[in-house]
Amino acid sequence: MMRNRTLEQYIKEHLSFYLFVGVVFVTGVVFGAVMVNALSLEQKQELSRYLGSFFASVHQGGLEGDVTGSFKDSFSMHIKWFLIIWVLGLSVIGLPLILILDFLKGVLVGFTVGYLVGTLSWKGLLFALVSVVPPNLVVIPLLLVCSVTAMAFTIHLVKNRFISRKGALYEPFMRFSGVILASGALLLGVAVFEAYVSPVMMKWVTPMLVTMSGS
């Protein structure tokens, strides 16, 4: 019963934050997808050449060689994003920057999926489903949770240090830091997936993509 009340209270206090952050992220996704149409012919040709060489590398098992390096790169990329949110959450001016990060993450996802689908049609969608979508099913919810937690801590910091000038910060700080640490543990799993499983899944679908890019 107590746990249900706590969850209900949490949702009541943070629902508006989640809606706002969600809208910012989705706006970024839409903006990223629209950016694909703004690419010049030269930029599209350059990206097509890069994709062609990437598909050929995947098809030849190029991503299966340095698994340890892939794991480190993946984890480093994700954890830096979350550590930046943690640092921004500790500062009063960090709140708008957190929203900018969420928007940029949406832009990256929207542009990547939009370009693959726009260029390769259903084959691009298939490749996105085995490469972009699986890790982001974990990373994006974690990003939203950490962003909302950071925003809540920043607002708590402002209220208790610059308005009422009272109230303990230790418990909110530990809760905020705990969310970041728990996210880091889950990001380890994401990095393992991207290093060991994603290359295999991508290798399943790249034969048709290599054929298409070479035609």
The per-residue pLDDT for range 29-38, each reduced to its tens digit, is: 999 999 998 8
Is 34 part of any domain?
no
Task: Measure the CA–CA gap between 172 and 207, rounded to whole angstroms.
Answer: 51
How many domains would you assign to the chain?
Answer: 1
Q: Output the DSSP codes for 187-201.
A: HHHHHHIIIIIHHHH
Q: Where in the sequence is the domain holding 56, given as residue range(s)?
A: 41-214
Is 87 part of any domain?
yes
Is 68 part of any domain?
yes
The per-residue pLDDT for range 93-127, each reduced to its tens digit, is: 888 999 999 999 999 999 999 999 988 888 888 88
Question: Which range among 16-25, 42-51, 134-143 shows the weakest confidence by mean pLDDT?
Answer: 42-51
Is 25 part of any domain?
no
Range among 87-91, 164-168, 181-185 rated most confident = 181-185
Quote the pTM value. Answer: 0.86
Task: Measure the CA–CA gap between 187 and 78, rounded to whole angstroms.
Answer: 7
Distances (CA, A) of 180 to 66, 89, 176: 28, 11, 7
User: Could you tell me if 176 and 151 are in contact, meaning their C-beta atoms sit under 8 angstroms apart?
Assistant: no
User: Is the predicted pLDDT of residue 133 greater than 60, yes or no?
Assistant: yes
What are the CB-based long-range contacts (under 8 Å, 24+) for 176-182?
176/86, 176/89, 176/149, 176/150, 176/152, 177/86, 179/145, 179/146, 179/149, 180/82, 180/83, 180/85, 180/86, 180/146, 180/149
Dihedral of CA 38/114/116/140: which sign? positive
Q: Which residue has the higher pLDDT, 111 or 156?
A: 111
User: Is the predicted pLDDT of residue 19 greater than 80, yes or no?
Assistant: yes
Is 153 part of any domain?
yes
Is 26 part of any domain?
no
Is 35 part of any domain?
no
pLDDT band per the 50, 70, 90 thresholds, residue 215: very low
pLDDT band per the 50, 70, 90 thresholds, residue 214: very low
